[in-house]
């Protein structure tokens, strides 16, 4: 299992972006969480198969219709926690 940290910037708050990420992550069978940051970004921790995580990242680059994604910083991490669902924090 792989774990990646995502930091998504652009117009990603107030456009249902977290719900979009959660819905797609659950459909892909991924676990983790997604939340807004105080700086106006969206942050996510994603666990699962490498290929499936890449599929989610591609979807995140599009985002929901009202979003305007400028950048996604992807950082590989060691799994410290094991998640059983994909939550919105």
Report which of 1, 5, 69 is spatially closest to residue 35, judged by C-alpha positions.
5
Is-catalytic flag, 26?
no
Q: Reply yes or no on whether 18 is catalytic.
A: yes
Q: Which residue of the set 24, 36, 49, 61 is catalytic?
A: 36
- CA dist 89 and 68 (Å) reads 21
Catalytic-labelled residue, pool 18, 26, 49, 61? 18
Handedness of CA 81, 52, 75, 85 (dihedral sign): negative
Q: Which residues are catalytic?
A: 18, 36
């Amino acid at each position: 299992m792989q774990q990646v940290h995502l930091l998504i910037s652009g117009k990603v708050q107030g456009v249902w972006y977290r719900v979009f990420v959660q819905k797609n992550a659950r459909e892909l069978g991924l676990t983790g969480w997604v939340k807004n940051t105080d700086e106006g970004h969206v942050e996510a921790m994603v666990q699962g198969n490498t290929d499936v995580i890449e599929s989610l990242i591609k979807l995140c680059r599009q985002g929901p219709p009202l979003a305007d994604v400028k950048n996604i910083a992807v950082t590989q991490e060691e799994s410290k926690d094991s998640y059983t669902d994909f939550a919105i924090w």
